[in-house]
Structure 1
Amino acid sequence: MSIDFYDSKGRPYAYTDDGETIYTFGGVPIAFIDGDSIYSFSGTHVAFFENGQIWDHRGGVVLFTDQASGGPMKPLKALKPLKGLKSLKPLKGLKALKPLKPLKSLP
């Protein structure tokens, strides 16, 4: 199941092919999905993944997918670049405690 992530201007930013590891379109592994959370490979909790959107700790949408629902209005999406060769994934660090979800904000 491939999922593409777009930034607030609709530019393709990253993707996941396995629903777990998030790669840049250049093939660099940048984070992983664990349930409704996004973690860096060092184990730091960096965001929440909910309704097809990645929300930061302040309640703002950082990235969105084609399946995103709710939240702020989505911009027109740009064409996706070709996916580069994937780099090796780093080892996962111990996961930090997940913070409480913030109130969602609109721009």
Structure 2
Amino acid sequence: MKTIFYNSEGIPYAYTEDTINIYTFEGTPVAYIDIDDIYAFSGAHLGFFEDGYFWDHNGDVLLFTDTTRFGCGPLKPKKSLKPVRALKTRKPLKGTKESKPLKPLKSRHWSMYSPEDLLKIYV
């Protein structure tokens, strides 16, 4: 099942087709999901995936999906149309995982980071 990740403006940013590997619509692999943790392929712990939201280390929402649970997180914006997906590039090898931090309390705020800030620096 394909899951699309939207940013705080409702613009589709990334997707997963296998519920594990996350790609941008340009075809770049940017992260992967391990149970409820999100890691960069370098092994850096980026955040948590719960209730259909990508939560950052501050407990704020970076991205949301269509499966978000009502009552969690900030108000979602109207979603934009999905762009055409480019061909996927090869996934990098997974690095050694960092120790994950304690989960923060969840907020109803959008993250101060943009997806580009958090995800693309680890590609």
> How does the TM-score come out when normalised to structure 2?
0.85
Give a deviation string over 1:61-102, Cα, whole Å, max 9, x none. Answer: 000000111211110000000111000000000111111000
2:5 aligned partner, one-letter code: F
Q: CA shift at 1:19, angstroms?
A: 0.7
Q: Distance in 1 between matches of 2:18 and 2:83?
A: 19
What is the match of residue 20 of structure 1? 20
Q: CA deviation at 1:104?
A: 1.2
Distance 2:20 2:73 in 1: 23
Root-mean-square deviation (CA), in Å? 0.6
SS at match of 1:98: coil
Aligned partner of 1:88 in structure 2 is 90
Query: Match of 2:120?
Result: none
Could you tell me which runs of 5 or more consecutive residues in structure 2 were left unpaired when the two chains were aligned. 110-123
Aligned residues: 107
Extract unaligned runs of 5+ from structure 1. none
Higher strand fraction: Structure 1 or Structure 2?
1
Q: Distance in 1 between matches of 2:85 and 2:8?
A: 20
Structure 2 counterparts to residues 1-107 of structure 1, below 5 A: 1-69=1-69, 70-107=72-109
